[in-house]
Structure 1
Amino acid sequence: YFNHRRFVVAASADEFIEKQAEGTTLQLNTSLVKDNARDVVFMFPGQGVQFLNMGKGLYEAEPVFRLAMEECAGILKTYLKLNILDIIYPAKEDEAALKKLTNTAYSQPALFTLGYALGKLYMSWGIFPTAFIGHSVGEFVSACFAGVFNLADALKLVATRGKMMGDVAPGAMLSVRTTVEEIQPYLSAEIALAAVNSPKLCVLAGETAAIKKLSDILNKKDILTRLLPTSHAFHSHMMDVVVQPFEDVVKTIRLSAPLIPIASTVTGDWLSAEEATSSAYWANHLRATVLFGKSVQKLLDEQHTLFLELGPGSSAATLTRQQAAGKQVTAIATLEKADTEQSCRSAMKALGQLWLQG
């Protein structure tokens, strides 16, 4: 055991020597470990962060990751009637392929598959979670790992959820950089509060025309907005029609109390045994406002300070830092860049950063 730690990610001896000479990089990848970190929160992001060929380098180089991806893909064929890996890793990377991945019928199973495979990979490296949090569909990955439902049932739910949500009328989602209080006057029968991600970041959902009109209004008031790459208005009134049909499906599977704590993004509190085993909870999950910021705050209040995001991009890690607001926390992304060739390096870098935390 060494208190003074430093790591370098390199593909060759020559690259290692070159990296050793980079003072700035070495300084960032160096630490003095004072306390051995024992608690790691696994975080799983939701829709809107997916990109083509996410994790492809890991799929090609890491057997544990590849086997987990293929296991999920094999189960999903029953429901999707295709190989989800062909959607994630298309033969041709073009607009049509991206549009297909953005379709919620595929993006939800794709994100679950990737998150599950990343979780299995880090566990194989000796990193085990003491708590979970998942944004929207990400909570299903959390629940699977926590033992609420098994992998086959989890994939049945996610595939069914994606198809049902995809069958409703198209809509839009808008990220708005402001507080819940400031956005309340703009909510209506057409505009719903879909998520509260951090103190000054909300997501609205509704009919496409209504969302576009509101975006123009907010931009004129210098309130920053961004349309999210989603196919529908998730967590809004537009999902009401599928809540009961989805609950009927949830009732067909066995639900258990979580073996590892899950911060619920529906309640902003720990997921109780009663909620975890309730078909109504998992059905309303697709309609309820995602209280990600409140759930992260719950984890912070319980003295969790080390977070690992298992999914594409760094949205959950960024939101966690925003929620912490100056409090000393470490939130690490495993697939930071959309550069698919760098996914192995990104995952290794995250592993090194975990080591620096003890």
Structure 2
Amino acid sequence: MTRSVVLLVPGQGAQHPGMAVDLYHTHDGFRAAVDEVFALWGGEGARIRADWLGPDPEIELDDLRRSQPLLFAIGYALATALRGEGIEPVALAGHSVGEVVAAVVAGVFRLHDAAEVLAERVAQLADGPPGGMLAVAASVAEVIPYLDAEVHVGAVNAARQIMLAGPSAPLANTARRLRAAEITVRPVRTRNPFHSPVLQPYADKALPTLRRLPLAPPKLPVYSGYTGKLLTAAEATDPAFWAAQPARPVYFADALAAAAESGRHLFVETGPGQGLTALARRHPAVTAAGSRAVALLPARAGGDAAQFTSTVAEIFAAATPTSEAVLP
């Protein structure tokens, strides 16, 4: 049984201490690609790298000033390392900031342009209200009665796996009400209300930069978490589409379904952790298509190089030439 490769690129919440550090120290191609991204951020890139690799970070990992740049750099570097191994994806799907990585790999953004947009986004959102996100084991319909003011559905990752987002106090109140109703809730690793309308005024500040950048139609299919469908040329080249993303909900379950319907694939999580791998393995459309999902990195720090090497071998054993894939 052969399969084409679709990359799944995770976003906020996937970060964890020590993520990909082992691979950075052992894989030349990965290290070079990460350093390429850090170099685009100048002195701040050097500080991000020092915090990531060092034992005593100046800024904690869950702060968006560290989590967002590192998720972008690691996701991009893993995709680059895969290509260096001779593995070319036939499509991509990204979650949150992972969609920006997917857009770079697909040729929508030039790398240095995406890095500029991300640096500005981090600075702009850092001025936003403090808040967070909750992972909830329930459907959208089940949680609606418990939502406090200013708390919104920020992501639908599966039929009964959603994320809520909002400012700190209303989100805490919603969490208490859900737990009182015996609904499983856990905090997501973020200090910001990503994918909540409260961030819209801050997200809009990215528009001037995005309007002067050359955005191109994707050269590879990208299944957008913001539409749950194949990214169109009009969307990919619309500055407003990219500017609004921090304030818009993510429909990753729909994006996975759309990707699964395009053929039998090997979904490869291209970032820290294995959260998207777990989502893909449980998604009925993925299993119905006879597709599988694997992760390039372990769920926790340590053993990165062994996991990467093992997964690359598995990809070669399972992957089919691009010409055999059934894609748009």
Q: Shorter-chain TM-score: what band?
A: over 0.9
Instruction: Measure how far apart 1:62 and its partner are.
Output: 1.1
Distance 1:120 1:324 in 2: 30
- Paired with 1:49 and 1:86, the residues of 2 have a C-alpha distance of 20
Match of 1:354 in 2: 315
> Contact conserved, 1:52 with 1:101, CA < 8 A, in 2?
yes
Match of 1:69 among 20, 34, 42: 34
Q: Is the 8 A contact 2:130 2:167 kept in 1?
A: yes
Matched, 1:36 2:2: yes
Q: More deviation in 331-340 or 110-119? A: 331-340
Indicate conservation of the 8 Å contact 2:11/2:95, yes or no: yes
SS in 2 for 1:101: coil
The correspondence for 2:236, drawn from 267, 271, 276, is 276
1:46-87 CA distance string (max 9 Å, x none) = 011112222122111111111111111100126x36432112
Task: State the secondary structure of the residue aligned to 1:50.
Answer: coil
Match of 1:59 in 2: 24
**Do residues 343 (structure 1) and 304 (structure 2) align?**
yes
**Which residue number corresponds to residue 188 of structure 2?**
228
Matches of residues 156-235 of structure 1 in structure 2 within 5 Å? 156-187=116-147, 189-235=149-195
The structure number with the bigger radius of gyration is: 1
Choose from 290, 295, 309 the match for 2:269: 309
Contact 2:6 2:91 in 1 (8 A): yes
User: CA-to-partner distance for each residue in 1:92-141, whole Å, 9 max, x for gaps?
Assistant: 25xx56x5221112211111100111111111111110001000000000
What is the match of residue 110 of structure 2?
Answer: 150
Q: Within 2, Cα distance between the matches of 1:157 and 1:329? A: 34
Q: Secondary structure at the match of 1:319?
A: helix
1:309 is displaced (CA, Å) by 0.5
Q: Are 2:51 and 1:101 equivalent residues in the alignment? A: no
- Cα distance 1:266–1:337, how it changes in 2: closer, same or farther (>3 A)? closer
Partner of 1:291: 251
**Alpha carbons of structure 1 residues 308 and 186: separation in structure 2 relative to 1, 3 Å:** same
The answer to whether residue 213 in structure 2 is matched with residue 253 in structure 1 is yes
Counterpart CA distance in 1 for 2:45 and 2:22 is 26
Shift of 1:304: 4.0
The one of 85, 89, 100 aligned to 2:53? 89
Cα-Cα RMSD: 1.6
Letter matched to residue 59 of structure 1: Y
Residue deviations 1:122-174, cap 9 Å, x none? Answer: 11111110001000000000000111011100111111112211221110210
Alignment partner of 1:266 out of 226, 245, 251 = 226
CA shift for structure 1 position 184: 2.5
Number of aligned residues: 317
**Aligned partner of residue 260 in structure 1, secondary structure:** coil
* 2:189 alignment partner, SS class: coil
Q: Secondary structure at the match of 2:135?
A: strand
Distance 1:66 1:266 in 2: 30
Which amino acid counterpart does residue 86 of structure 1 have in structure 2? A
Which consecutive unaligned segments of at least 5 residues does structure 2 have? 320-328
Distance in 2 separating the partners of 1:284 and 1:119: 25
> Following the alignment from structure 2 to structure 1, what is the Cα–Cα distance between the partners of residues 75 and 103?
12
Where does residue 89 of structure 2 map in the other structure?
129
Partner of 2:326: none
* Matched letter for residue 165 of structure 1: L
Q: Determine the C-alpha separation between the residues in 2 that align with 1:132 and 1:355.
A: 18
Instruction: Determine the structure 2 residue equivalent to 1:45.
Output: 10
Looking at structure 2, the residues matched to 182 and 199 of structure 1 have their Cα atoms a distance apart, in angstroms, of 11
Q: Distance in 1 between matches of 2:122 and 2:146?
A: 28
Deviations 1:217-274 (A, max 9, x none): 1112221110111011011022021132111221121100000000011111110000
SS at match of 1:100: coil
Deviation digits for residues 170-197 of structure 1, max 9, x if unmatched?
A: 1021000011221233345411110001
Q: Which amino acid aligns with 1:286?
A: P
Q: TM-score, normalised by structure 1?
A: 0.85
TM-score by length of 2: 0.92
**Matched letter for residue 34 of structure 2:** M
Q: One-letter code of the match for 1:302?
A: S
Separation in structure 1 between the aligned mates of residue 66 and residue 207 of structure 2, nearest angstrom: 20
